[in-house]
Structure 1
Amino acid sequence: MKNNIYAVIDVETTGGGISGNRLTEICIVLLDGNEVTDKYTSLINPEKIIPHQITSLTGIDNEMVADAPKFHEVADYIDNFIRGAVFVAHNVNFDYNVLRNEFRALGKDFKRKKLCTVRLSRKLIPGLFSYSLGKLCSSINIPLENRHRAEGDTDATVILLQKLLKLDEGGKVITSFLHPHSKNATLPPHIPAEQINDLPEDPGIYLFKDRQHKIIYAGKAKNIKKRVLSHFYDKKSKEYHLGQETSYIDFETTGSELIALLLESDYIRKHYPKHNRAQKKPTRTYQIINYINQRGIIQLALGQTSKIEDSVYTFYSRARAQEMLEKLCEDFNLCPKYCTLQSNVKSCSHYRIKNCKGICTGVEAVDDYNKKVKKAILSLSTEKETYIIKERGREPGEQSFVLIKGGRYQGYGFVEPDAQICSFEEYEPYLKLQEPTFHTHQIINSYLNKKGMGNVVKREESTMA
């Protein structure tokens, strides 16, 4: 392979993560050294519906691709067009993996040397505020037209690469990028070393797959490459068998450990990988219920149910439910006896809660007491808020987020660096819907307990960006 032949590539896709991302457009520009020699660009029929939020971002809709060639119709041409060239892209792993997966779906192997203009720019043009394509082009005066279309982004990346080639006198930096040094490891027999070299050192999830591309293990990591290698360094029997059965490794960067945890849980729930520990969920949940007793007093109690509710305020342990009931009793000056915290007593005598106003002894009027109970019940429903947890994205300037609506986990998304978010609703086009479960509830609650509310933005807050 000649290292001075480059194929600068940008792809547009349907979105959908590792398993569902299909090509909708591709542009390739060939360079011999610093000179452009050829160009190929085409819409691609993804053979699936393009989501509305993707159309809003790229402008590519289902009608535009209806008569475009399907990938299998142009695969051989693309393969030959870039044969012998270094695969170059801005954030190269995304474009490379999309194209590799398209070839893989056809039963074809796709391997190329890769060069990332994001990482190369950080090395050769240090100190910039952002290395997203839009911000980078603005910083160094590269024209960028027709943003988020393959040809427009590729043309800008070509100019960027030409500038970088001139900055790298003698080509020492680029040569080092094309021959990366990685830790030595005894790799399982079916995994090419290139797949290990391709792994990023970023937060995200990784998937071990067998020869039939079936997921046999899903994991999350702060550093994907380091975590994957740790499986192969581990000499335990289960790790050995995992390595022996693995033929492919896929990954998805998230920028956020929270999203990595949520994605890991989702893959385990959907695919039941044989080497993952089964996710157990409780067989009982607890609710705070209310009823009117013989005196006309609204009484609170704990109710047990076998129905698993997915709200982040569902109680999955009796202790947690009792703790909330005690808090309501304290905060609203309720009676421990009528909150079922004491039984078989004529009047309350709780060891800790001492603020009862006398409903149990006839001092407080029933109507006055019931008004307080209704406020306590209302407080439970208003706690089920709609809010966003904001985290860092996959690259500088990008923002990731997790959406909770009415107390229920909705999904996650990534907001590009150039986007201007001025209202809560403007996050939703970037949202990738996910199913709430007991485990997502646990993950989000654990995050909030550990991190607090510093990254949380509630719907009623006016400034979102």
Structure 2
Amino acid sequence: MYAILDIETTGGKYNEEGITEIAIYKFDGHKVVDKFISLVNPEREIQPFVVNLTGINANMLRNAPKFYEVAKRIVEITDDCIIVAHNAQFDNRILKTEFKRLGFGFKRETLCTVELSKRLIPGQDSYSLGKLSRSLGIPVSDRHRANGDALATLKLFKILLNKDLNKYIIQDSIRLEPKRQMEPNHKRIIEELPSVTGVYYIHDENGKIIYIGKSKNIKHRINQHLTDTSPKSKKIQLLVAAVTYETTGSELVALLKESEEIKQNKPLYNRALRRNLFTHALYSFKDDNGYINLKIDKADGRKNPITTFSTKQSAKSFLFKAIEEFELCQKLTGLYPSKTSCFNYTIKSCHGACIKKETPESYNERINQLIKKNSYNNQNMVIIDRGRDIDERSAILIEDGVFKGLGFFDLNYQINTIDVLRSIITPMENNRDTQHIIQNYLRKNKKLKIIHFNNL
């Protein structure tokens, strides 16, 4: 659990500042579960430059509660939370100073979004909240007011959670939360999970991830893990201390995140999933007569396939449909070995490439249509899919045929340039597994929205 906060102060000498406004959003990693926003009478003078910066003046604070009147609420809303702030060292120091004046020791673990941003979003011109928000497309209202800055920090933190492929933030959170140190209650773990599409992480008592998976129904899948009697499930059941998750909305995003994060984190019980996700591939070659032939073969990393498949049978099924859709020759696709014409020619479904009746140029044009449709080699495009909320969409970026990464964007914030899109993308590795995942998903989901760069 996190307490995302921002504090405005009077300014002045070190450790003599007073709080003029505070905003706290209690965030469970997915949604805000509580919030507290209040002006505070600092009982001291506000520096003129602070008045000009924030717009908060003495008249506004005359009837505001004093710190001792809001202290209990601050303690309650931050209890068992990690405090998250932009320049957390400053906000934490101010809070500790105010509580010390009341004779109360205030101690919370902290996370700084400045430091996290430098680690997870390197190369920014500035890490100030305002400039970082603009570069990431985060809308900010009421800049230099506690509520506006706290909301911007919350949105930034959500982006950082998504970009944290090694799960440093989540693992540290579980390790530090006191309630996680108790013997886990499997029923409680399951009850706290949603029935949504996403990626889930099974942690041991030290917060370390021991298993990563994806599911269209996380609650149901974790219930299977914690009730199954297989040897692997029993080992997981003995070690599990907590389960965290990330909703993705899109199954494609979940598949890509699962693949990437298993490779990054190498969980103990994901060994079987580290192998390639596909066994067979579709290749093309030109024969002596100039016709492009297709061939299903075992996947070979040294060759460049049109697309890949999990089984040989799924590859053959795809090819049979492609023959019908593009009016291809069974013989030249390797599905009808023959020294003469293919069967489809006898029923007039093949134009006669098998007996050189159709010209190579005419036949190859349809083959190239199939290749272009089922391979994103050399293409620049963005695949748009479901987001985590109704007003959000996911974006998978491919540049020059290379998978670059994925991210989420608000429908209210228009993506109109490739530079804006790159700023929200979490970079990921392009490998044969990701190519297979994307191509396989595109084959099964014909109605996906795809934007080519010349439309951005």
TM-score (norm 1): 0.54
- 1:304 is displaced (CA, Å) by 3.3
Partners of 1:373 and 1:271 lie apart in 2 by: 47
Is 2:258 the counterpart of 1:268? no
Q: Which residue does 2:176 correspond to in 1?
A: 109
CA shift in 2, pair 1:350/1:247, >3 Å: same
CA–CA distance in structure 2, aligned partners of residues 109 and 3 of structure 1:
22
Q: Is 1:278 matched up with 2:266?
A: no
CA deviation map 1:347-366 (0-9, x unaligned): 4444776244556667x4xx
Equivalent position of 2:295 in the other structure: 302
Cα separation, partners in 2 of 1:352 and 1:412, compared to 1, 3 Å = farther
Q: 1:252 and 1:276, CA in 2 relative to 1: closer, same or farther beyond 3 A?
A: same
- Give, in angstroms, the shift of residue 413 of structure 1: 0.4
Change (3 A) 1:315 1:27: same
Label 1:12 to 1:285 Cα distance change in 2 as closer, same or farther (>3 A).
farther
Where does structure 2 lack aligned partners over 5 or more consecutive residues?
Answer: 1-70, 96-101, 103-109, 133-152
Shift in CA distance, 342/423, structure 1 to aligned 2, threshold 3 Å = same
In structure 2, C-alpha distance between the alignment counterparts of 1:434 and 1:215, rounded to whole Å: 19
Deviates more, 1:368-377 or 1:343-352: 343-352
Aligned match of 1:410: 404
Contact kept? 2:327, 2:351, Cα under 8 Å: yes
Q: What whole-Å deviation, never above 9, does each CA across 1:83-131 have from its counterpart, x for those lacking one?
A: xxxxxx9689969989x9669759983459xxxxxxxxxxxxxxxxxxx
- The equivalent of 2:284 in structure 1 is 289
1:372 maps to what in 2? Answer: 362
Contact kept? 2:392, 2:408, Cα under 8 Å: yes
Contact 2:394 2:406 in 1 (8 A): yes
Q: Give, in whole Å, the separation in 1 of the partners of 2:112 and 2:326.
A: 65
Deviations 1:3-34 (A, max 9, x none): 57456898468xxxxxxxxx88875697xxxx
2:330, 2:211 → 1: CA distance? 49
CA distance in 1, matches of 2:434, 2:269: 21
Task: For 2:181 and 2:234, locate their aligned partners in 1 and report how far apart those are by CA, in whole Å.
Answer: 8
CA distance in 2: counterparts of 1:360 and 1:101, whole angstroms: 58
Residue 51 of structure 1 is matched in structure 2 by 122
Q: 2:414 aligns with which of 420, 426, 442?
A: 420
Instruction: Say if 1:387 and 1:456, in contact at 8 Å, map to a contact too.
Output: no
Contact 2:84 / 2:111 at 8 angstroms: preserved in 1? no
Q: 1:58 to 1:335 in 2, by over 3 A?
A: same
CA–CA distance in 2 between the matches of 1:346 and 1:225? Answer: 57
RMSD: 5.4
Alignment check: 8 A CA contact 1:330 1:353 kept? no
Distance 1:3 1:234, change over 3 A: farther
Deviations 1:376-431 (A, max 9, x none): 34324422344433334334533322334556543220114552223566422211
Please show how residues 214-233 of structure 1 align to structure 2 within 5 Å. Answer: 214-222=208-216, 224=218, 228=222, 231-232=225-226
Instruction: Indicate how the Cα distance of structure 1 residues 43 and 330 shifts in structure 2: closer, same or farther if over 3 A, else same.
Output: closer
CA contact (8 A) 2:278 2:433 kept: no
Q: Which amino acid is 1:302 matched to? A: K
Q: Which residue of 317, 341, 345 corresponds with 2:339? A: 345
| Structure-2 separation of matches of 1:434 and 1:404 | 11
- Indicate how the Cα distance of structure 1 residues 297 and 406 shifts in structure 2: closer, same or farther if over 3 A, else same: same
Tell me which residue corresponds to 2:250.
256
1:390 partnered with 2:380 = no
Cα distance in 2 between the residues matched to 1:198 and 1:359 = 61
Q: Which residue of 2 aligns with 1:208?
A: 202
Contact in 2 for aligned 1:310/1:436 (Cα 8 Å): no
Offset at 1:371? 1.0
In structure 2, the CA distance between the partners of 1:238 and 1:336, relative to structure 1 (3 Å rule), is: closer
Distance, in Å, in 2 between the alignment partners of 1:317 and 1:404 is 25
Q: Contact between 2:353 and 2:363, CA under 8 Å: does it hold in 1?
A: no
Contact 1:200–1:223 under 8 Å retained in 2: no
Residues 284-340 of structure 1, C-alpha deviation per residue, up to 9 Å, x if partnerless?
5333333342xx443524263552368772355545555565666666666544555
Calculate percent identity across the aligned residue pairs. 25
1:442-461 equivalences in 2 (<5 Å) = 443-445=437-439, 447-448=441-442, 450-453=444-447, 455-459=448-452
Q: Give the Å deviation of 1:281.
A: 3.1
Q: 1:459 to 1:333 in 2, by over 3 A?
A: same
8 Å CA contact 1:205, 1:220 repeated in 2: yes
Residues in 2 aligned to 1:297 and 1:283: alpha-carbon distance in whole angstroms: 30
Cα 1:345–1:93 change in 2 (3 A) is closer
Q: Is the 8 A contact 1:335 1:348 kept in 2?
A: yes
Using the TM superposition, give the Cα deviation of residue 243 of structure 1 relative to its aligned residue in structure 2, in angstroms: 2.6
How far apart, in 2, do the equivalents of 1:333 and 1:435 lie?
Answer: 36
- The 1:326–1:236 alpha-carbon spacing in structure 2 relative to 1, beyond 3 Å, is closer
Measured in 1, the distance between the counterparts of 2:227 and 2:449 equals: 38
Structure 1 residue aligned with 2:238: 244
Structure 1 residues without counterparts, runs of 5 or longer: 14-22, 31-36, 62-88, 113-186
Q: Deviations over 1:18-58 (max 9, x none)?
A: xxxxx88875697xxxxxx9xx9988545737434796994
Conserved? CA contact 1:26–1:42, under 8 Å: no
State the distance in 2 between where 1:230 and 1:325 align: 35
Contact in 1 for aligned 2:408/2:424 (Cα 8 Å): yes
State how many pairs are aligned.
340
- CA–CA distance in 1 between the matches of 2:72 and 2:411? 35
